[in-house]
Chain A
Amino acid sequence: GAVVSQHPSRVICKSGTSVKIECRSLDFQATTMFWYRQFPKQSLMLMATSNEGSKATYEQGVEKDKFLINHASLTLSTLTVTSAHPEDSSFYICSAGEGTNYGYTFGSGTRLTVV
């Protein structure tokens, strides 16, 4: 089955620094990737939709300049949290689609802690 690799699984960074999270589709080409944020004991909140070779589409309320998304190839999308602050601490999850509208696989998530 489709495998989506997300790295790192955990990261701790100092306030004011930037952190990059990678999402890779290992055995398929992903034209679309989604980035989610999940707070403890809550559901997934869509942050942005990333399409290969074009600008990401951000959900309302998500700061484009803080959460930079790059989808430079059909197998890699990155989320960079810029100038991170403690309130950015959360669980970030990506998902990638194989080209159909329904076959999306989730990555294993990244726990970001900003101290």
Chain B
Amino acid sequence: QQQVKQSPQSLIVQKGGISIINCAYENTAFDYFPWYQQFPGKGPALLIAIRPDVSEKKEGRFTISFNKSAKQFSLHIMDSQPGDSATYFCAAKVGGQNFVFGPGTRLSVLP
């Protein structure tokens, strides 16, 4: 029940295209859903996060869509750029407990 599923495992997108990564969870107690971006050899960096009382959050080219009833949330990267090529992790958290991370999606944006 603590697991967060993530798909696809890898994604190749042309420059300017839309990258979409999906995550699903089971634990309805989760109340914070962040997305992290990780470049090779670096620690994860918070990209964008959402709470379950909001269905969508947009920050620049990055949008989180959240479906509470389906227990799913997704990351959309608009106008994808080669510099967006990285591994993306979704995560979920309950209050004072630890983050539960998805397995990650390796995004490659072709020039």
Contact = CB atoms under 8 A, between A and B. Distances in A.
Interface residues of A, number: 21
A107 B93 contact: no
Interface in A76-110: 91, 93, 95, 101-102, 104-109
Contacts, number: 46
A93 B95 contact: no
A108 B104 CA distance: 18
Interface of B: 32, 34, 36, 41-46, 49, 89, 93, 95-96, 98-99, 101-104, 106
Interface of A: 4, 6, 34, 41-44, 46, 49, 91, 93, 95, 101-102, 104-109, 111
Which A-B residue pairs are the 7 nearest by beta carbons? A106-B43, A109-B43, A108-B43, A43-B101, A93-B43, A43-B103, A106-B44
